[in-house]
Amino acid sequence: MNREQDIKDKESFFRAGQKLLEKVHEAESTDRAEVLLSWEEVEKKLASKPSHKLRIRYVLSAVAASAAILLAIGMSLWKTAEEPAVSVSMLEQEIPVLPDDEVVLFARNDRMQLKDESSVRYGEDGKPEVEGQVVKTISGQEKEKDEEVVNQIVVPKGRKVDITFSDGTKMYVNSGSRVIYPALFGKDRREIIVEGEVYLDVKKDPSRPFIVKTKGFEVKVLGTQFNICAYKEDAAASVVLVEGKVEVETTDREKTVLKPNQLVSIQEKGLDIKEVDVFGYICWKDNMMLLNNRIAGEVFDRLSRHYGCRILYDDNIKDIPISGKLDLREKPEDVVNILCQSLYLVYKVDENKNIIISKK
């Protein structure tokens, strides 16, 4: 064999081998027959070289073994990189028909209707403790023992609930919200999915960062207290930090790190950070609403969500500034009456129990 031919053979072998490796990297979407065809291509390229037949077989065996190892490792990594126990895509899944006025907890094979302002606590076995708080239980198909158990809490308008996870983290869930989470967190991270508003007091655990996912952004923490507001019907979402430190990252890979008493607003145009009085953003969990120059439309919308009733108002009212403090334990009509008196407005309740507000 002359030197020129030897170089060509080596180049040919290299190209065929490279092609095979590309197929190995694409193994999750490649049929096994295609990979075998690549081996046949290598063999055909070198079949006419009998003097090196034995050496070639050793080379092919070594390459085959290496490819098998690469394939095994690749598939293992692919398996590891699969979607985690909870994924934002779960928010797209349909929820079974629910009563309009009850908190519903989906836990393993049960669907439990809970009382308003229930407190759910998870034990080390991943089972929720809800004794005395269940209105009704509907049992479904039993899950396999080794199947990942994902729970979900759905809180309608006019209701609230709080949850203590097995790691000690406490979460308050506001009206009109939905949270998806594993019954037991993994060994390397703690993840939940939120749609709506929650306040979290995260138990510190440096080995397992706590990650809150929403459709538009993620919040990563080790141990801290913060509020997330991410209702799908709102134009902007927000994160308010009470203490500790959190990193907020949008789906567009825009990042920021918050300090205590900072709020980040997440909008289409990007992130906007400002200093705030955090009490005004977290007092909802104590049935209060602090009004520091908020506008009437925003306040009435929040009251509608909190009480689970429709509050309708004229466009010429929505931008009126309001300040003060509201006790949300009062009836909706009483709270609206206080606001109307201070703003020189009037209201009425129609036959469908809608509250209609207008100027005098």
Q: Give the SS3 label for residue 19.
A: helix
The dihedral formed by the CA atoms of 286, 292, 295 and 301, expressed in degrees to the nearest 10: 0
Cβ neighbors of 212 (< 8 A, separation 6 or more) are 191, 192, 193, 194, 198, 200, 218, 219, 221, 228
User: Between these two residues, 2 and 203, which has the higher pLDDT value?
Assistant: 203
| 198-235 per-position pLDDT tens digit | 999 999 999 999 999 999 999 999 889 999 999 999 99
Cβ neighbors of 209 (< 8 A, separation 6 or more) are 189, 190, 220, 221, 222
What pLDDT was estimated at residue 87?
85
Quote the tokens at residue 304: 């509608």
- Cβ neighbours around 249 below 10 Å, total: 16
Buried b (16+ CB within 10 A) or exposed e, 123-155: eeebbbebeebeeeeeeeeeeeeeeebbbbbbb
* pLDDT at residue 2 is higher than 80: no
Confidence of residue 109 (pLDDT cuts 50, 70, 90): confident
Using the structure block, give the residue that is written with the tokens 């046949």. Answer: 40
| Residue 4 near residue 12, CB atoms below 8 Å | no
